[in-house]
Chains A and B, each alone.
Chain A
Amino acid sequence: MSRIDDALYVERDGRISVFMSKVEVGQGLKTAIAQLAAEELDIDFSRVLIVRADTALSADASYTAGSNSIQTVGEWVRRAAASARHVMLQRAADAWGVDATSLWVEDGLIKERTGVRQITYGQLMGGRTFDCDIIDDISLKDPCRYTTVGRSVRGNDLVAKVTGGGSFIQDLVLPEMLHGRVVRPPGPRDMLIDLDRDAAAHITGVLAVVRDGHFVGVVAEREEQAVDAANALRAAARWERSAPLPSSDAIYDQLQTGEGRSLRIVDGAPVDGDVPEVKVPADAEQTLRALYKRPFQLHASLGPSAALARWNQGQLHVWSHTQGVFPLRGALAQALGVDVEAVRVQHVEGSGCYGHNGADDVALDAALLARAVPGRPVRVQWMREDEHAWEACGSAMLLQLQASLDARGHVVDWNHDVWSFTHSGRPRASEGVSNLLAAWHLETPLPAPQARPGGGSHGGIHRNADPLYAFPHRRVVKHFVRDQPLRVSALRGLGAYGNVFAIESFMDELALATECDPLDFRLRHLEDERARAVLCAAADRAGWMSGVKRGASGAGRGMGIGFAQYKNEKCYAAVVAQVCVENDQIHLERLVVAADAGQIVNPEGMANQLEGGVMQAASWTLYEQVRYGANGIESRDWDTYPILRFDRAPEIEAVLLDQPALPSKGCGEATQGPTPAAIANAVFVACGARLREIPFTPERVRAALAH
């Protein structure tokens, strides 16, 4: 990724093609990247073309995840674009025998300051590549001269989305395309005993029934034929059922008793060595303790995952909405037993994914089915049930917090214990194992890898477990639990959702114990000025009423606040929730989010991400839990896995704090943690119910009120 040519290409007509090494998942990355390139190149935003990630064209930037794209790829594109501008000015200067400092650029047109000569980028480059490196010490444009970055821009494809212009992988049509569907086992570990392959023979258009071990699928001329054939095969298949799943209600006991490994977290990262005991310090005036719970939850993309695949003389071409074209290529090659060079993965946008959904799995499904019809592309879209029942969930978490306060109402000791399974199950090439679903079911299976505790700063379970507050003594411990009952992987925010929910709920519990306003209590323990600023900005916009927030009895209206800096190094976000509780019903009335993500590239895009993140986290918090039990996964559609609906949607306002001189940070996951705490804290003020288990169902409100 050190070459200018890896990042961009100057078309003959002067437009700039920028090669996306990260992918668009509805977060607005394309637009922001185009703005950054346009700014450094001094060219109009509309003349930047974004080329989707493609293993045949792009640099390998691994996964689009962790709110990293703007910071990493955005910075790379800025530097590549600035280098390209510099090189082009130098080349023009050499050709004209003048000094490069005597030239300037206006919308892609290089001009002499004092002469009449001019040439466009397109004319100058004439279709040639740069053939040089990104300049190490290239100077970037001074933000005070920005004309594009920092300005609100709507995505170029919004008009296509409102007019039905095919822009999703689900809409992609290739010549000679066929349709495939898969038949999954009734339960995760069930084995196929018998399949009557003729069960679909009466259905017109069926071209192939594919069985490989316990993997079953069908290819047909038309989509509805593939659906009907899959249903017929499903009805005819006989499976040996594996041991029944334990009930979803038992999950927190399993977390507390499951085998695994405990690691102390210091400065956001796990360290080797003994885990210290919890000790109450001598100057503790009072000590509080509370247990918080977060269940398995789904990405639940609105559009079930889809992929297209075509085999041609041993070469496989896959169209996928994966978050990582290169890791997927490696994992596909391994599962299919072909050389990685024989596989090309091209990104096409899908429905919003919010993490690791079924995108990669359906790519292997399509490749397996397409192998039965060489030369013809096969489009596979999962059915709703495939997505709900087979996607990897966000991991369940159990959190125990204990803190001591001194006589002045300051936290003198802080303990955070979090039990969870892995949060990372993304596919990549790895000897003898695979994280692609169908690979587990093949005649020669590649089993799922054994989960291991992740290291690194703010990895999955311990993401945001280490609070930003200036506590004099803290003990943060993650308890990695090895064997999870359900398949799990990265869901927006990973462990930050549960950790911040617990931390920020507990902060309110402590504030009440010290008779302190929850906002003041946070400010008392925060030295970071940017953190203080987002808290105050959210509170101001929301109309925060200062005072000790003691729960009203039974019903009423309340306001609550929650805060975090994502991974303690990215976007700062504070959320204020206003709720009304009537009997056992929580009505979300208004949510205000204030955020500081450094220099803002696209205010409109940032606001949309923040609002959407808050809304989605509100949905997780009020409604969402994967139910399962002896009959397998019970959450199989939108009725059995309800999410927030329009009739319950609150008003949302986003307050953006710009820092033009500071690096841009991703904001797509920043609100996931603060939101559930803000809601829980607001519910407590409204009615006196302290909710410590997600989702906040009416039953839990009633139970908390009775407590």
Chain B
Amino acid sequence: MADTIRLKVNGVARDIDIDAQTPLLYALRNDLGLKGAKYGCGLEQCGACKVLIDGQALPSCALPVSEVAGREITTVEGLCEGEVLHPVQRAFVEEGAAQCGYCTAGLIIGVVALLEENPRPSNAQIGAALERHLCRCGVHNRVFKAVHRAAEEMAR
């Protein structure tokens, strides 16, 4: 049964007709065409689908879309301002912190939330904050460097 749900994503409110139990991830990817968040497990285990919900990085793969109606959702697409990348996105590019890139969008969301809460995290704090993100290509070390680089830039 389709319901009409109003989602506020990247600052824009959109009404979509969707079963209220549908995970947010499918609404973002298939109804709104925002392909940044990825399906990785559907079990909230890997972090590939993370988005910001009222500033908090949360997995979207099992979260019913009805529960986030009216809340501020930000996806990786919403981080740039026009052509200008968010400092965290820029840091990932500058550090080459991706291989296949499937985990990247979720990680960037996780890092944005971390730096919001803790502008100068230590390696241990970064590791703990990103513990629920998986990367299979093994760019972990580069992600740590990207976090420090972004933190420095954002502190300027």
* Binary flags per residue of B24-63, CB closer than 8 Å to A gives 1, else 0: 0010011001111111111101101000000000000000
Query: Counting CB contacts under 8 A, is B5 at the interface?
Result: no
Which residue of the partner chain A has the closest CB to B28?
A164
Q: Report how far A164 CA is from B98 CA in the complex, Å.
A: 13
Which residue of the partner chain A has the closest CB to B91?
A162
Query: Counting CB contacts under 8 A, is A108 at the interface?
Result: no
B41–A384 touching, CB < 8 Å: yes
Residue with the highest number of chain A CB atoms closer than 10 Å, among B36, B41, B85: B41
Q: Report how far A303 CA is from B46 CA in the complex, Å.
A: 10
Interface residues in A299-354 (C-beta closer than 8 Å to B): 300-304, 349-352, 354
Q: Report how far A27 CA is from B39 CA in the complex, Å.
A: 21
**B124 CB contacts on chain A under 8 angstroms:** 647
**A354 CB contacts on chain B under 8 angstroms:** 136
In the complex with contacts A352-B137, A381-B39, A384-B42, A302-B77 CB distance below 8 A: no
B96–A649 touching, CB < 8 Å: no
Which residue of the partner chain A has the closest CB to B126?
A646
Q: How far is the CB of A263 from chain B (nearest CB, A)?
A: 34
Q: Report how far A207 CA is from B101 CA in the complex, Å.
A: 33
Q: Report how far A207 CA is from B105 CA in the complex, Å.
A: 33
* Binary flags per residue of B1-35, CB closer than 8 Å to A gives 1, else 0: 11000000000000000010011001001100111
Chain B binder among A49-57, A165-173, A432-440: A165-173
Interface residues in A628-681 (C-beta closer than 8 Å to B): 637-639, 643-652
Query: Counting CB contacts under 8 A, is B118 at the interface?
Result: no
A158–B101 touching, CB < 8 Å: yes
A637–B143 touching, CB < 8 Å: no
* Binary flags per residue of B61-84, CB closer than 8 Å to A gives 1, else 0: 000000000000001110110000
A223–B26 touching, CB < 8 Å: yes
A637–B43 touching, CB < 8 Å: yes
Chain B binder among A129-137, A568-576, A611-619: A611-619
Q: Report how far A164 CA is from B102 CA in the complex, Å.
A: 10
B99–A608 touching, CB < 8 Å: yes
**B41 CB contacts on chain A under 8 angstroms:** 384, 637-638
B98–A162 touching, CB < 8 Å: yes
B127–A649 touching, CB < 8 Å: yes
A26–B141 touching, CB < 8 Å: no
Which of B33, B99, B136 is in CB contact (< 8 Å) with A28? B99
Query: Counting CB contacts under 8 A, is A154 at the interface?
Result: yes
B127–A646 touching, CB < 8 Å: yes
B76–A163 touching, CB < 8 Å: yes
**A166 CB contacts on chain B under 8 angstroms:** 35
B99–A615 touching, CB < 8 Å: no
Interface size on B, residues (CB 8 A): 59
In the complex with contacts A302-B46, A614-B138, A163-B85 CB distance below 8 A: yes
Q: How far is the CB of B87 from chain A (nearest CB, A)?
A: 11
B76–A615 touching, CB < 8 Å: no
Q: How far is the CB of B93 from chain A (nearest CB, A)?
A: 5
Query: Counting CB contacts under 8 A, is B100 at the interface?
Result: yes
**B79 CB contacts on chain A under 8 angstroms:** 163
**A527 CB contacts on chain B under 8 angstroms:** none
**B142 CB contacts on chain A under 8 angstroms:** 608, 611
A646–B26 touching, CB < 8 Å: no
B136–A646 touching, CB < 8 Å: no
Residue with the highest number of chain B CB atoms closer than 10 Å, among A163, A300, A349: A163
Q: How far is the CB of A601 from chain B (nearest CB, A)?
A: 15
Which of A27, A204, A650 is in CB contact (< 8 Å) with B99? A27
Query: Counting CB contacts under 8 A, is A282 at the interface?
Result: no
Query: Counting CB contacts under 8 A, is B115 at the interface?
Result: no
**B108 CB contacts on chain A under 8 angstroms:** 162
B102–A383 touching, CB < 8 Å: no
Which of A222, A302, A612 is in CB contact (< 8 Å) with B103? A302
Q: Report how far A611 CA is from B144 CA in the complex, Å.
A: 13
Query: Counting CB contacts under 8 A, is A473 at the interface?
Result: no
**B137 CB contacts on chain A under 8 angstroms:** 26, 352, 612, 615-616
User: Beyond the given A159-B93, A161-B105, could you list 7 further A-B residue pairs with CB under 8 A, ordered by the A residue number?
Assistant: A159-B85, A204-B1, A303-B100, A381-B39, A384-B42, A612-B137, A646-B126
Q: What are 21 inter-chain pairs, A to B, with CB distance below 8 A? A: A26-B99, A162-B85, A162-B108, A163-B89, A168-B35, A223-B29, A300-B136, A301-B102, A301-B136, A302-B46, A303-B38, A303-B102, A351-B100, A352-B136, A611-B141, A615-B141, A616-B137, A643-B136, A646-B126, A646-B127, A649-B140
B: which residues have CB within 8 A of A? Answer: 1-2, 19, 22-23, 26, 29-30, 33-43, 45-46, 48, 75-77, 79-80, 85, 89, 92-93, 96, 98-105, 108, 124, 126-128, 130-131, 133-144
